Amino acid sequence: MSQNVNVVEIFSSIQGEGQFVGYRQVFVRLAGCNLECEFCDTPSSRTMVNSAQIEKTAGRRDFQTIVNPISLIELSNYINSLLVIPHHSVSFTGGEPLCQAKALAKILPQIKGRIYLESNGTLPTELELVLPHIDIISMDIKLPSIIRQEMWQEHSKFLRLAATRNVFVKIVVTGSTNTKEFLKAVNLIASVDENIPLIIQPVTPINNCEGVKPDTVLLYQEQALSSLNDVRVIPQTHKFIGQL
């Protein structure tokens, strides 16, 4: 395991989004991203960083600063040491964790817990490298008006691969979401499997981002339910309970 990884932070907390909301997880936030979303909620993770903040004791916020890049052996030791108390899973997040897929493929077999991947769903070739080691995939579908480019083909390939695991899809909606794009995303999911859960996530209205109106959210859910069997609306909960 000679490869190194650029890490932003590692800590234990509560999953605040999606189908597994409320579960205790170790979060491993990797640096780098292939997209430039409007309203990015982790802008400091989009590029490589000089050092990582790593919690020494799960949930105690006693962070130590470790210089990047970190060797795979060191990284797996940091992660596994937080798993001494029970956790549901280890969430690899970002940025976009698949930007470091080759290193991930080597480290995942060393982790002593379920693996949960949070991805923007646009790097199917990289997903293939790590797929055998992944238990749960939280896949975003990024609407073109948010990322200023179309990624439908990439999303479709990604979801077909991800559907061989436990996968759910998350779509963030804002006050300026394009309804046609939202419906195209719903159809894309249904074309793979109508039983794949869809989480509609109303954007947290910060950074001048326009929140989505309550009646519009109901309409989105109703429209999605005409093609999919499991459609839920879940906001980012960790932000209003003061969790990282």
Query: Given the rule CB under 6 A, which residues bind ligand SF4?
Result: 33, 35-37, 40-42, 45-46, 94-96, 120
From the CB of 33, what's the least distance to ligand SF4, in Å? 3
Q: Which is nearer to ligand SF4, 46 or 155 (CB)?
A: 46
Q: Which amino acid appears at position 117 of this protein?
A: L
Tokens of 109: 């077999």
Tokens of 78: 């940091």
From the CB of 90, what's the least distance to ligand SF4, in Å? 19
Cis peptide before 121 (omega within 30 of 0): no
Q: Exposed, middle or buried: residue 234 (CB in 10 Å: 0-12, 13-18, 19+)?
A: middle
Q: Which is nearer to ligand SF4, 53 or 223 (CB)?
A: 53
From the CB of 120, what's the least distance to ligand SF4, in Å? 4
Q: Which is nearer to ligand SF4, 36 or 222 (CB)?
A: 36
> Comparing C-alpha atoms, which of 137, 60, 50, 141 is closest to residue 97?
137
From the CB of 206, what's the least distance to ligand SF4, in Å? 13
Integer Cα distance of 56 and 178 in angstroms? 43
Q: Which is nearer to ligand SF4, 111 or 203 (CB)?
A: 203
